[in-house]
Chain A
Amino acid sequence: MNNTEQIKKSLNKRYRKEKRFRFLSLLAVLIGFACLLILLVDMVIKAWPAFIQTEVKLDIHFSQEKLGLATNFDPEELQNANFRGLIKQSLQQLFPMVRKRSDKRALMRLISVDAEYRLRDKLQAEPQLLGQTVPIWLLVDDDVDTYLKSDKQFGRVSQEQIAWITELEQQERFQKRFNYWFFQTGDSREPELAGILGAVIGSFYTLLVTLLLSFPIGVMAAVYLEEFAPRNRWIDFIEVNINNLAAVPSIVFGLLGLAVFINFFGLPRSAPLVGGIVLALMTLPTIIIASRSAIKAVSPSMREAALGLGASKIQVAFHHVVPLAMPGILTGTIIGLAQALGETAPLLMIGMVAFIVDIPQGATDAATVLPVQIYLWADSPERAFVAKTAAAILVLLLFLTVMNGLAVWLRKKFERRW
C-alpha cells in the first residue's frame, strides 16, 4: 500500500469526522436558540393579559347630595367627597335586587379601587358635570379582569359575582382596550393599576449616573495603563486587582455602598444617585478591560507614524489611538451598562428594593429599577401580577436588545478598515 492509497483510505474517515463536527456545532446553536425561543414565547404568552385591560361602563350621577357637599362648597372639599357613594348608587340601580350588606360589598368589589379617584379627577377637571348623569368607563377589579381573560376559569370570583358579570356582559357594558396605563404609572399593589414607568425612570437615572462616572474614569484608566504606565510591579499589581474586581460578586459592591456612601457620606437611601455610584464601581472593571483590549488592538504602526510626524505622546493617544479604539470602548461600555441594568443584588443593600408609587423626579428621589420591579411583582400574592411580571420582563428584554443593538450599530459606524 503506497502513500496515496493510505491517504485515500483515511480520507472518508476525515470527511465523516468533519461532517459530524459540523452537525454537532449546528445542533449546539439550535439548542441555544430553541431555549431562547421557548423563554420568549413563554414570556409573551404570559404577558399578553397585562397589555389588555377590561373596563366597565357605569352611569354615574354626580349628585351633590350624595357626594356630601353643601350648596356653596369649597373646591378643596372635592378631595375627600364621597365618590365611592356615586359608584355604589350606580351599581344599585343596575342591580336593585342586591339587598344584603355582604352582597353589596361583593358587588362593589367588581370595580377597581381606582374608580373613585378617577371620578374625583374627572369632576375636578370638568366641574360642570355636577348634577348630571354621564356614562363613564371605569377599571374593573383585577379578579374580574383575570376572570374575563382566562375563559371564565378563575375561582376567586363567587357565584353571585359571576351572575352579575354575565348580566353586565349582556348589557355590553364591558370593553377591552390596550393597557396604556401600564406605561404611564408607577408601582401599585392593585394589579390593574400597576405600571412600569416609575421603574423605567428609576433605571434611567441610575444608568445615567453610572455612565457619567464609569465611562470617563474607565477610559482614562485604560489609556493610562496602555499608553503611559511604566512596566513595573505596581502596575502589575493594579492590573491583577482590576481583573479581580471584575469577578467580585455584585452584592459586595452593595455592602460597600451601604457602608461608605450612605452611612459615612450620608447620601439618601433608595436614591438612584447611590445606586448609580455602586453600579459604576461594578461596571468600571468591565469598561477598563474592554477599553484596554480595544486600545491594544490599534496597530503600533499608527502610533509610530504619528510619533514620526512629530506628535507628542498625548496627541498620539487622543488624536489617533482613542478614536480608533472607540468602537471597542463603546461596545465594552454598553455591555457593562446592560449588565448594570439587570442588576438587583447590590441595590438590595442600599434600599432600592422598595415599594415606590411616585415617579422619581431626579437622581436623589427614592426610586426602584426594572429588575427590582420584576422581583417585587413576582413576589406578590395577587394572580394578575404573574402577567405584569412577564410584561415587565419583556420591557427589560426590549431595553437590553436596544442597548446591545446600539453597541453593534456604534461598532459598525465608527469602525475603520484599511
Chain B
Amino acid sequence: MKQIGLYIILTLTAPSLVLASGRDVINIVGSSTVYPFATVVAERFGKSSKFKTPKIESTGTGGGIKLFCAGVDINTPDITNASRRMKKSEFNQCQKNGVKKIVEVLVGYDGIVLAHAMRKTQMQLSLRDIFLALAKSVPASDGSQTLVDNPYKTWQEINPKLPAKKIEVLGPPPTSGTRDAFVELALEGGCKTFQWIKALKKIDKSRYKAICHGMREDGAYIEAGENDNLIVQKLVANPNAMGIFGFSFLDQNSDIIQGSIINGAKAEFESIASGDYPISRPLYFYVKKAHVDVIPGIAEYIAAFTSEATSGEEGYLTDKGLIPLDEAKRQTVRQNANKLQNLDL
C-alpha cells in the first residue's frame, strides 16, 4: 500500500521537475475558424518531424490574442491563430507587455456561406438582398431616405424573383468571429449599395455603423450557437431555413446542403479563391519571436505551414476547405515568414 502511494506521488511530481527546466511542446491558441486547419498541420508536423505535436487550444481570435500578448514568459502561448488581422489596439497591448517582435503569417482565406438544404432550388441572392433580409432597420420601400424597422417577412417581399418562403436564418452569436466577418462583409456590403447610406459614412460614421452593422432581433435571424454541425443538422430538418457558417462545413456536407449564389458567384472553391465570391476573410497566425529560440520546433512549424504541400494550391489544407493564396503571394508570405520578419502596425 505504501509503495502504491509512493508510486502515485512520483508519477505526479516527476514530470513537473522536468517541466521547470523548459517546455518542449509548442503552445498554440486562438481562432476556432483556423483551428481545423492548424490542427491538421500540427498533427502532420508531429508525425513527420522529430518534434512533439504542438498543443492547440481553440479560444477564439480575441481571446487568443489576449493570452498571446500577456507577456514573453514560458507559460504564455508561442503562436496565436486569428480569423482577422490583429488590431492596432491589440498590437499596442502586446508591445506594452513586452511582446515586441511578432511575425505575421497569412495562411489563406475562408469563405462564409449562406446555405440551405439540397431539396430546395438554389437561392440567388445579392448582398443587398441579404442586407434587406437581416438588417435591423432598412430604408423605407417608398424610396425616401428614411429608415423603418425591418418589415420583410418573406424573401419574395424583398425581391420578386426570390421564392415566397419565410426569412429564417440560423447563424452564430455575436461572440463569434464568423458573425463579425459576416456583418462586415455581407451586411455592410449590401448596406453600401444604398448611395445615401454610403454618403453617411463620411458625415456620421457611428450612425452609418449602427445602420449597416445592426442585425435584426425580431426572430428572423436565429442565434444557433457556435456549433456549425448543429446548424447543418437543423438545415436538413427544416428546408426553408438558411444557415451561416464557414466554407469548410459546406465542403464537408456538400451532399446534403448547398450554398446560395451571392452576387452571381457560387460558393465554390475557385470563386472564393479568385475573389468573385464576396464574403471571404483572411486567416492568419502570429508568432512570438522571442520564443523561437527557446521552444524547439517553432521555425520548422512555420516552414511546414507555409510549404507548398500544406497551404499551396494543391496542398492538403485545401482538402479540408482552406482557400489558398495565389502562388506569388504565398511565395512572398513564405519568404517573409521564414525570415521572421517583424510585424508593424
- Listed in ascending order, the chain A residues whose CB lies under 8 Å from chain B are 79-80, 105, 109, 113, 117, 154-156, 188-190, 205, 208-209, 212, 262, 266, 268-270, 273, 351, 353-358, 361-366, 376, 378-383, 386
Are B15 and A354 closer than 8 Å at their CB atoms?
no
Number of CB contacts from chain A to chain B under 8 A: 106
Are B58 and A354 closer than 8 Å at their CB atoms?
yes
From known contacts A189-B40, A355-B56, infer whether A381 and B19 are also in contact, taking CB-CB under 8 Å: no
Are B229 and A381 closer than 8 Å at their CB atoms?
yes
A270 vs B19: C-alpha distance when bound (angstroms): 13
CB of A108 to closest CB in B, whole Å: 10
Candidates A205, A357, A362, A379; contact of B42 at CB < 8 Å? A357
- Would you give 11 A-B contacts (Cβ < 8 Å), ordered by A? A117-B47, A156-B255, A212-B8, A273-B16, A355-B42, A355-B56, A356-B55, A361-B15, A363-B11, A379-B227, A381-B252
Are B36 and A381 closer than 8 Å at their CB atoms?
yes
B43 at the interface (CB under 8 A from A): yes
Are B319 and A362 closer than 8 Å at their CB atoms?
no
Closest 10 CB pairs of A and B: A155-B255, A362-B15, A357-B53, A355-B56, A354-B57, A381-B252, A355-B39, A364-B15, A364-B16, A363-B12
Q: Per-residue 0/1 for B6-30: is the Cβ within 8 Å of any A Cβ (1 yes, 0 no)?
A: 0010011011100100010101000
From known contacts A80-B48, A189-B40, A358-B53, infer whether A155 and B256 are also in contact, taking CB-CB under 8 Å: yes
A188 vs B44: C-alpha distance when bound (angstroms): 10
Residues of chain A contacted by B58 (CB below 8 angstroms): 353-355, 376
CB of A267 to closest CB in B, whole Å: 9
Interface centre among A109, A117, A362, by most chain B C-beta atoms within 10 angstroms, is A362
CB of B27 to closest CB in A, whole Å: 7
Residues of chain A contacted by B11 (CB below 8 angstroms): 362-363
Residues of chain B contacted by A208 (CB below 8 angstroms): 8, 12
Closest residue of B by beta carbon distance from A80: B48
Q: How many residues of B contact A (CB 8 A)?
A: 46
B253 at the interface (CB under 8 A from A): yes
CB of B39 to closest CB in A, whole Å: 4
Are B253 and A383 closer than 8 Å at their CB atoms?
yes
Residues of chain B contacted by A386 (CB below 8 angstroms): 229
A70 vs B48: C-alpha distance when bound (angstroms): 20
B91 at the interface (CB under 8 A from A): no
Closest residue of B by beta carbon distance from A361: B15
Residues of chain A contacted by B14 (CB below 8 angstroms): 362
Candidates A79, A362, A376; contact of B12 at CB < 8 Å? A362
A364 vs B254: C-alpha distance when bound (angstroms): 42
Residues of chain A contacted by B8 (CB below 8 angstroms): 208, 212
CB of A122 to closest CB in B, whole Å: 15
- Listed in ascending order, the chain B residues whose CB lies under 8 Å from chain A are 8, 11-12, 14-16, 19, 23, 25, 27, 32, 35-36, 39-40, 42-44, 46-48, 50, 52-53, 55-58, 75, 226-229, 248-249, 251-256, 314, 316, 319-321
Residues of chain B contacted by A262 (CB below 8 angstroms): 75
CB of A116 to closest CB in B, whole Å: 9
Are A188 and B27 closer than 8 Å at their CB atoms?
no
CB of A61 to closest CB in B, whole Å: 22
Interface centre among A379, A381, A383, by most chain B C-beta atoms within 10 angstroms, is A381
From known contacts A353-B57, A353-B58, A381-B36, infer whether A156 and B12 are also in contact, taking CB-CB under 8 Å: no
Are B39 and A382 closer than 8 Å at their CB atoms?
no
A131 vs B36: C-alpha distance when bound (angstroms): 38
Are B255 and A270 closer than 8 Å at their CB atoms?
no
Are A354 and B56 closer than 8 Å at their CB atoms?
yes
Residues of chain B contacted by A188 (CB below 8 angstroms): 43
From known contacts A355-B39, A380-B36, A381-B249, infer whether A268 and B229 are also in contact, taking CB-CB under 8 Å: no
Residues of chain B contacted by A379 (CB below 8 angstroms): 32, 226-229
Are A351 and B227 closer than 8 Å at their CB atoms?
no
Interface centre among A105, A351, A386, by most chain B C-beta atoms within 10 angstroms, is A351
Are B254 and A269 closer than 8 Å at their CB atoms?
no
Residues of chain B contacted by A361 (CB below 8 angstroms): 15
From known contacts A80-B48, A356-B55, A381-B36, infer whether A156 and B254 are also in contact, taking CB-CB under 8 Å: yes
Are A354 and B55 closer than 8 Å at their CB atoms?
yes
From known contacts A270-B57, A353-B57, A364-B19, infer whether A382 and B52 are also in contact, taking CB-CB under 8 Å: no
Are B19 and A268 closer than 8 Å at their CB atoms?
yes
CB of B309 to closest CB in A, whole Å: 10
Closest residue of A by beta carbon distance from B18: A364
Q: In the complex, given contacts A117-B48, A362-B14, A366-B55, what are 13 additional A-B residue pairs having Cβ atoms less than 8 angstroms apart?
A: A154-B255, A155-B255, A189-B36, A262-B75, A354-B58, A357-B42, A358-B46, A363-B12, A363-B15, A366-B25, A379-B32, A380-B229, A382-B252
Residues of chain A contacted by B255 (CB below 8 angstroms): 154-156
Residues of chain A contacted by B47 (CB below 8 angstroms): 117
Candidates A205, A266, A380; contact of B75 at CB < 8 Å? A266
Closest residue of B by beta carbon distance from A212: B8
Are A365 and B43 closer than 8 Å at their CB atoms?
no
From known contacts A105-B314, A189-B39, A362-B15, infer whether A383 and B252 are also in contact, taking CB-CB under 8 Å: yes
A364 vs B10: C-alpha distance when bound (angstroms): 12
A376 vs B58: C-alpha distance when bound (angstroms): 9
CB of A206 to closest CB in B, whole Å: 11
Are A358 and B52 closer than 8 Å at their CB atoms?
yes
Candidates B55, B228, B229; contact of A270 at CB < 8 Å? B55
Residues of chain A contacted by B32 (CB below 8 angstroms): 379
Residues of chain A contacted by B44 (CB below 8 angstroms): 113
Residues of chain B contacted by A358 (CB below 8 angstroms): 25, 46, 52-53
From known contacts A357-B46, A381-B248, infer whether A268 and B75 are also in contact, taking CB-CB under 8 Å: yes
Closest residue of B by beta carbon distance from A384: B252
Are A155 and B254 closer than 8 Å at their CB atoms?
yes
Closest residue of B by beta carbon distance from A377: B229
Residues of chain A contacted by B248 (CB below 8 angstroms): 381
Are A156 and B252 closer than 8 Å at their CB atoms?
yes
CB of A146 to closest CB in B, whole Å: 10
A379 vs B35: C-alpha distance when bound (angstroms): 11
Closest residue of B by beta carbon distance from A270: B55
Closest residue of B by beta carbon distance from A363: B12
Are A109 and B48 closer than 8 Å at their CB atoms?
no
CB of A271 to closest CB in B, whole Å: 9
Residues of chain A contacted by B226 (CB below 8 angstroms): 379
A338 vs B256: C-alpha distance when bound (angstroms): 38
Residues of chain B contacted by A190 (CB below 8 angstroms): 40, 43
A382 vs B35: C-alpha distance when bound (angstroms): 13
Residues of chain A contacted by B254 (CB below 8 angstroms): 155-156
Closest residue of A by beta carbon distance from B252: A381
A365 vs B58: C-alpha distance when bound (angstroms): 18
Residues of chain A contacted by B43 (CB below 8 angstroms): 188-190, 357
Closest residue of A by beta carbon distance from B230: A378
Residues of chain A contacted by B15 (CB below 8 angstroms): 361-365
